[in-house]
Amino acid sequence: MPKPRMALRMIKDVIRLKWEAQLSHESIAAALGVSKGAVAKYLGLASAAGLDWETVREWDERQLAARLLPRAPATSPFVEPDWGRVHRELDRKGVTLMLLWEEYVAAHPHERTWRYTQFCEHYKAFARRLKRAMRQHRRAGEKLFIDFAGPTVALHGGGRAQVFVAALGASSYTFACATGAQKLEDWVECMVRALAFYGGVPQLIVPDNARAVIVDPNRYEPRAADTVRDLARHYGTSVLPAGPRSPRDKATAESSVQVVTRWILARLRHERFESVAQADAAIAALLPSLNDRPFQKLPGSRASVFTELDRPALMPLPPTRYELARFKTVKVHIDYHVEIDGHRYSVPHALVGQQLEARLTQRAVELLLRGNRVASHARSARRGGFTTIEAHMPAAHRAHLEWTPQRLIEWGRRIGVATGEVVTRLLAHNKHPEHGYRACSGLLGLAKRYGNARLEAACERTLALGAFKYRHVRDVLANNRDRLDPQGTDSGWTSPLHAHVRGPGYYQ
């Protein structure tokens, strides 16, 4: 017959073998080396307590024994503090155990209270009984942890919706939503939605090292994507990814993903939604029940602790919602314009030849030099068009204006009359003559490649066709059509006479 202490360590095995493996009392007793009476006793206690295997699966033996064999509370001559409240108060900025001990003593002036050292020891013992993720102290409003859940939501047609999860550090107040993928734009949209859900901005956003968000997951100097850093600037926060292979850095995120999986996604596992939007609405409907659910070992719920701790500590949201922005490097051409998606936008003429950073949103184009904005335009979808601000144009008297309409026309006329005419029409065709500078520069490049004689011949043929664009001249040269006479035949070649040539008399 095993000792009682040995039997207590086997309580969970007894319940598992009976309720999960469906073994008989006799088989369980033989497998564990205990009596059938002990098996019957603990199964009876578990049934009387209303337990099942799903409930006790994650419990340890001490938890299970305390539930099945509750002991009478030990009497103590000292007033017991509310350790759950103490643990929560430590999440506030500036609150220390010394301060909480002084308040505890002041609240019980006529009763026996713990000395400070004993107070700390008893608190540490309480903290050790909490889950690992819950033991970590997160300052109110300090960190927002974000990640995607592993499980997905089924859609009609075989598709799957991804599930984004966010949680604040101090309260674990959780946000979840459905999205179509895990691309950069999905991460950004979900982060924007999460901040709107919380109604404020934390000091740090802590993602995992997803490639869409973190372009360089260096342990010491991680670098987020340009768009993610732009989002952080807009909201006045910072993005600091969790350390690679550092579970403690993202314990809150992993815990929240697990909670969302169990309390939301498990309830939707049999559903099939028509769209991502329908899946998102179903998740939103279940979120309040998750956040309002009371904690097991601490006072309150995620929602109540958020209201008490995190919400007052969050920074305010900016007046405008963040709009997704892309970044690319562009060069300022001689016409003081940069080209983006086939459209040209002006910058101050002094920046000709410099590299700029273009910030592109759906409605705007911003041009930055070393982080400072030098130009801003409404975005245009018209390929080949120009958007020019008059203030960006150079004054006629400035010494650096080596490119002028007259200088370009004279350059063209030195090559030939036709080339001069093409240059003149290029400059006259545009609203501002400078808009034709780039095309004229292209003609200069054709002269260097094909020679002045061929360029002049190509311009003659282009003008004869009623055209004068750079691409028309380029195509004539590329196809060697400048070598043909105006009638379209080669003056150095005639068709030889032979039997298969009928001649004009055949048709009379």
Domain count within the chain: 5
Q: What is the pLDDT of residues 170-204, one digit of tens each?
A: 888 999 999 999 998 899 999 999 999 999 999 99
Residues 475 and 353 in one domain: no
Give the pLDDT confidence score for residue 417 in this predicted structure. Answer: 85
Domain stop point among 392, 415, 439: 392
Residues 148 and 213 in one domain: yes
Residues 284 and 161 in one domain: yes
Residues 221 and 93 in one domain: no
Select the more confidently predicted residue: 175 or 150: 175
Residue 45 lies in a domain: yes
Residue 92 lies in a domain: yes
Residues 236 and 94 in one domain: no
Decide: pTM greater than 0.85.
Answer: no
Residues 155 and 271 in one domain: yes
Give the pLDDT confidence score for residue 314 in this predicted structure. Answer: 93
- 176, 335, 321: which is closest to 259 by C-alpha? 176
Q: What is the pLDDT of residues 307-358, one digit of tens each?
A: 988 899 999 999 999 988 888 899 998 878 889 888 989 899 888 888 999 8
Q: What are phi and psi of 141, to 5 degrees?
A: 70, 10
141 by DSSP, 3-state: which? Answer: coil
Question: What length is written for the chain?
Answer: 508
Residues 309 and 274 in one domain: yes
Burial state string for 354-367 with b = 16 or more CB within 10 A and e = fewer than 16: eebbbbbeeeebbb
Q: What is the pLDDT of residues 373-401, one digit of tens each?
A: 899 899 888 887 888 887 887 765 343 34
Q: What is the pLDDT of residues 97-124, one digit of tens each?
A: 888 888 888 888 888 888 888 888 888 8
CATH number (domain holding residue 212): 3.30.420.10
Residues 287 and 264 sit within 8 Å (Cβ to Cβ): yes
Residues 300 and 411 in one domain: no
Residue 343 lies in a domain: yes
- Looking at beta carbons, which pairs linking 357-366 to residues 24 or more positions away fall under 8 Å? 357/327, 357/328, 357/329, 357/330, 358/327, 358/328, 358/329, 358/330, 359/230, 359/325, 359/326, 359/327, 360/325, 360/326, 360/327, 360/328, 361/323, 361/324, 361/325, 361/326, 362/323, 362/324, 363/323, 365/340
Residues spanned by the domain of 209: 143-313
Residue 506 lies in a domain: no
Residues 287 and 193 in one domain: yes
Residues 151 and 223 in one domain: yes
Give the pLDDT confidence score for residue 165 in this predicted structure. Answer: 93
Select the more confidently predicted residue: 133 or 15: 15
Residue 410 lies in a domain: yes
Give the pLDDT confidence score for residue 504 in this predicted structure. Answer: 54
Q: Tokens standing for 305?
A: 């602790």
- 434, 124, 199, 172: which is closest to 293 by C-alpha? 172
Residues 38 and 68 sit within 8 Å (Cβ to Cβ): no
- 152, 124, 174: which is closest to 287 by C-alpha? 174
Q: What is the pLDDT of residues 292-317, one digit of tens each?
A: 988 876 778 889 989 988 899 999 99
Give the pLDDT confidence score for residue 9 in this predicted structure. Answer: 62
Residues 95 and 190 in one domain: no
Q: How far apart are CA 496 and CA 4, in angstroms?
A: 118
Residues 306 and 161 in one domain: yes
